[in-house]
Amino acid sequence: MNRDAIFEKIQEVLDDALGVDEDEVTPDASLTADLGAESIDFLDIVFRLEKTFDFKISQGELFPENLTENPDWVADGNLTDAGLAMLKERMTHVDFTAIEAGDRNISKIGDLITVNSLVNFVEIKLAG
């Protein structure tokens, strides 16, 4: 399945999970900031991706979870160098450039999950 086909299926998934129009689902759209996703929507999206693409997604594999439980990763609400390194290693589907260069507040991490990062994720899963 090529990226265009994956993207079209993800448009349908987000249309069902978030009630957004397909034309709002652009590659750069952030799930939280642009498409209004809340935390429970991520579980919904995980279940729908599994059904659509017929693979299993482990907890924390697609979206970062429970970061604040580890003080090595988060200090004073900000992602540490170790936390960032861990995320970059585990989540190769996400582009961390914006948070690397600027605000490292963990509330900003959700904004990094874009439609494009979902396409990357599915592409990696299907290849692997």
Partner 1 sequence: MRWLWIDCIVEHEEGKRLVAIKNVSLAEDVLHDHVIDGKPIMPFSLLIEGVAQTAGILVGSTSKFKEKVILAKIAKASLDCDVTAGDTVRYDTTINRLDEAGASTSGTIDRRVASGEAWERIGRVELLFSHIDNNMSGTEFPEDNFVFSNNFKMILETAGLADLAE
Residues lying near partner 1 in the complex (CB under 8 A) are found at 16-17, 39-44, 46-47, 50-51, 59, 63, 65-66, 68-69
Nearer to partner 1 by Cβ, of 27 and 77: the residue is: 77
Nearer to partner 1 by Cβ, of 26 and 108: the residue is: 108
The neighbouring-strand residues paired with 75 are 78
Residues 112/28/124/41 CA torsion (nearest 10 deg) = 60
**C-beta atoms surrounding 2 within 10 Å:** 7
Q: Shortest gap between Cβ of 12 and partner 1 (angstroms)?
A: 14
Nearer to partner 1 by Cβ, of 21 and 65: the residue is: 65
Nearer to partner 1 by Cβ, of 68 and 105: the residue is: 68
Q: Shortest gap between Cβ of 109 and partner 1 (angstroms)?
A: 12
- What SS3 string covers 73-118? CEECCEECHHHHHHHHHHCCCCCCHHHHHCCCEHHHHHHHCEHHHH
Q: Shortest gap between Cβ of 3 and partner 1 (angstroms)?
A: 26
Q: Shortest gap between Cβ of 4 and partner 1 (angstroms)?
A: 27
- Say how far apart CA 13 and CA 28 lie, in whole Å: 16
